[in-house]
Structure 1
Amino acid sequence: MNYKIIDRDTYYRKGVFRHFSEDCKCSTSMTARIDVTDLFEYSKKTKTKFYINFLYILSKVLNSREDYRMGYLWETDELICYDEINPIQYVFHEDTETCTPVYTKYFEDYEKFYANALNDIEKAKQTRDYGLDMANHPNWFDASYISWLSYDSLNIELPDGYLFFAPIVNWGRYRKENGRFLMPVTVRLNHAIADGYLVANVFRLLEQELKCFSS
């Protein structure tokens, strides 16, 4: 885990950061449906898991820009940017109706990431422990698939004043509309380090990477 310290005096979002980390501590989130038809067809053709393929694309997008890799060190009151962030995915256990967090390391190499994520999932299926360990995984972001519903909106609340900068991303079941598969995706970011443009930009980048990956 490596990171660089951001100089707040020269930070390009200096004024916005100060306002939303001191005066008006809050988050911003958006839900939109994205077209995953090509990824669906690719996964079917290659006999790979759609879920892991999307997780890879999402991880690649969130690592592509510093704004999505920000962090805050409480002990030293420092704003930082991690060299990379990794997804916390989840395994749902039907018998207990509980989830196990799965810490999966991001690799830009798709095949390496895919094999690693698949292995992590299989290991998690063998336990029923919750096993959340955020203290030792500061540069991990939440990536949670809500498999039971193709929802229209979702909101995740964090306590006021909680400067949690890691992205929180959820997505639901895709559904067919006019011959295309559309999937709801929700992106939550702390307003101190991201505004509406940066949240919306995640969807734009996802669409670009989906097209590139599936082709």
Structure 2
Amino acid sequence: MNYKIINMDKYYRRGVFRHFSEDCKCSISMTSHLDVTVLKKYSQDTKTKFYINFLYILAKTLNSREDYRMGYFWQTQQVVIYDKINPTHYIFHKDTETCTPVYSQYQNDYVYFYAACAKDIVKAKQSQKYALDIENHPNWFDASYISWLSYDSMHVELPDGYLYFMPIVNWGRYHEENNRLIMPVSVRLNHAAADGYLLAKVFLLLQEEILKFTQQK
């Protein structure tokens, strides 16, 4: 885990950061709907898992900007930017109706990421433990698939004043709409680290990355 410490005197959003980390401590969240028609077709044509493909695209998107890779060291009150952030996702056990966290290292190399993530999932299916280890995984963001329905909105709430900067992302089942497959995605960011533009940018980048990913030869 590598990171750099932000010089807050030179930070380009220092005014916004100060306001939403001192005067009005809060987070912001948004749900939007992505067109995943081409990603579904790509997954079918290549006989790969849609879930892992989207997780890769999500991790690549969130690693593309420093704004999404921010962290906070409460012991020293330092704001940092990690070199990369990795997805913590979840496997659902039908027999116990519980989840097991899956830690998958993000790699820009898709083939490497796909193979490693598939192994992580197999390993997690063999465990019934909810072994969430935030202390040893500070640069890991939460990525959770809500497979049971396609929803319109979702809100993730953290305690007021808690400077947790890692993105929290949820997505639901895709559904057919006007001959397209539409999937709800929800993103939560700390308002000190992101405004409406940066939040909306996540969805715009996701849609762009889906097109780039499915057009690769």
TM interval, shorter chain, is over 0.9
The alpha carbon displacement at 1:78 in A equals 0.2
Once the two structures are superposed, the pairs formed by residues 46-57 of structure 1 within 5 Å of their partners are 46-57=46-57
CA distance in 2, matches of 1:176, 1:198: 28
- Deviation track 1:154-203 (CA, whole Å, cap 9, x = no partner) reads 00000001000000000000000010000000010000000000000000
Structure 2 unmatched runs, 5+: none
| Runs of 4+ that moved beyond 3 A | none
Alignment of 1:94-109 (within 5 A): 94-109=94-109
CA distance in 1, matches of 2:31, 2:127: 32
What TM-score results when the alignment is normalised by the length of structure 1?
A: 1.00
The equivalences for 1:122-133 within 5 A come to 122-133=122-133
* SS of aligned partner of 1:54: helix
- Equivalent residues in 2 for 1:129-144, closer than 5 Å: 129-144=129-144
> How many percent identity over aligned positions?
69
Give the aligned partner of residue 149 of structure 1: 149
- Describe the SS at the equivalent of 1:111: helix
Structure-2 separation of matches of 1:161 and 1:31: 22
Aligned residue pairs total: 215
2:179 is matched with: 179
Q: Does 1:71 align with 2:80?
A: no
Return 5+ residue gaps in structure 1 as ranges.
none
User: How far apart, CA to CA, are the structure 1 residues paired with 2:193 and 2:13?
Assistant: 7
Please name the residue that 2:161 is paired with.
161
Q: Report the RMSD for the aligned CA atoms in angstroms.
A: 0.4
Is 1:200 the counterpart of 2:207 in the alignment?
Answer: no
**Amino acid aligned to 1:202:** V
- Corresponding residue SS for 1:61: helix
**What is the deviation of 1:129?**
0.4
Which letter maps to 1:157? E
Pairwise CA distance, 1:123 = 0.2
